[in-house]
A = this chain, B = another copy of it.
Amino acid sequence: MIVQLGQIIDALGGELVGGLRDQEITRISPLETADAASISFLSNPRYATQMAASKAACVIVAPAMRDAAVMRGACIVVANPYVYFARLTQFWRAKKQGLKPSGIHSTAVVDATAVVGESAYIGPQCVVGAGARIGAGTVLSSRVTVADECEIGERCLLHPGVVIGADGFGFASDGASWIKIEQLGRVRIGNDVEIGANTCIDRGALDDTIIEDGVKIDNLVQIAHNVHIGAHSVIAGNVGIAGSARLGRNCSIGGAANILGHLTIADGTSISPTSMVTRSIHQPGLYTGIFPLQTNEQWEKNAASFKQLHVLRERIKKLEKALEAQKSNNGNS
């Protein structure tokens, strides 16, 4: 595919500086691997030296980097280079693929009572249950299941293997065995939500599991019954969110982090990857609970000491008292 800089400017805006509208571009590349037919971008001034050394035909930069960029060659000056880059990838893909697919693939199994919105796409081997609703412009890639009665909003993207609306994990013990609690709620997903490959979102037990607008969820994430995720929150791969937890808006949950059930997490909270959230968080901020990595030899020593940590604490307290006692003694002597 060949695109001219002028076409990019015409489609996405920005000011072309030090370059020609008919310059031909064949790829979008990171600064380091860019060649003379690449367009690249600088979103962080930290990488200014990489820009200087880049072979890119054109670099997308912020106004503050204009002078540095011009010294190197052509640039497009825009307010937010990273957002411009994102829109450029969308422009690129649309140009390359042509029209987005729509309709229902012949191998998909869509219940007659399901409602599929205008220009939505249900890909190969998908299964859409009775009474489910798929919003306009939403894409189900291959092998997605949306179970009975679940609702997906508009312009969503569900990647292969996603399961929406499997039963939540609920059982009552009668002392000898587990009695299933039928999961009578649904999953309701807002607009502009993206859900990664093989991610599972369970239906609610009585009320619904809710994912608000603009939420982005990565691969292999487990979202249990009756979870509520606030708008524009971002959840990285392998995360687990237990039943009835309530995440605020604009939260960011790092990869493989876990959140216990029935907790409330404040708007704007960030959780570091692999951290375990065991209590509600009322104050936004960055929270972390990562066990430090060490050589196995060091780890063995420290892990053994850890098991004695509260004993060590007692020994310190004892030492402090003994020293205090000695001081008094010395003072008295």
Interface residues of A (CB under 8 A from B): 27-30, 33, 80, 82-83, 85-87, 89-90, 92-93, 105, 107, 109, 123-125, 127, 141-143, 145, 147, 157, 159-161, 163, 166-167, 169-174, 176-184, 192, 194, 196-198, 200, 202, 205-207, 214, 216, 218-220, 222, 224, 232, 234, 236-238, 240, 242, 255-256, 258, 260, 271-279, 285-296, 298-310, 312-313, 315-316, 319-320, 322-323, 326-327, 329-330
Q: Is the CB of A288 within 8 A of B279?
A: no
Which B residues are in CB contact (< 8 Å) with A182? 86, 89-90, 92-93
Q: Which residues of B contact A306 (CB under 8 A)?
A: 292, 302, 306, 309
Additional A-B contacts beyond A159-B166, A255-B258 (9; CB < 8 A): A86-B171, A86-B181, A89-B181, A89-B183, A157-B180, A169-B216, A169-B237, A177-B192, A287-B295
A160 to chain B, nearest CB (A): 4
Residues of B within 8 A of A305 (CB): 309-310, 312-313
- A299 touching B288 by the CB < 8 A rule? yes
Report chain B residues within 8 Å CB of A322.
323, 327
Q: How far is the CB of A203 from chain B (nearest CB, A)?
A: 11
With a 10 A CB-CB cut-off, give which of A30, A163, A273 has the most chain B CB atoms.
A163
Distance, CA A310 to CA B145, complexed state (A): 49
Residue numbers in B under 8 Å from A200 (CB-CB): 161, 196-198, 219-220, 237
Interface centre among A124, A170, A173, A174 (most CB of B within 10 A): A124
The 8 residue pairs across chains A and B that have the minimum distance between CB atoms: A89-B182, A289-B293, A86-B172, A166-B197, A127-B142, A301-B310, A288-B299, A163-B197
Closest to A129 in B: B142
Q: How many protomers of this protein does the assembly include?
A: 3
Q: Which residues of B contact A307 (CB under 8 A)?
A: 292, 294, 298, 302
Whether A312 and B312, one on each chain, are in contact in the complex, defined by CB atoms closer than 8 angstroms, is yes
Distance in angstroms from A179 CB to nearest chain B CB is 4
Smallest beta-carbon distance A333→chain B, Å:
8
Q: With the chains together, A8 CA to B315 CA distance in Å?
A: 62
Most B CB within 10 A of own CB, among A80, A192, A232, A276: A276
Using A182-B90, A214-B178, A315-B316 as known contacts, say yes or no to A169 and B219 having CB atoms under 8 A apart: yes
Nearest Cβ on chain B to A180's Cβ, whole angstroms: 7
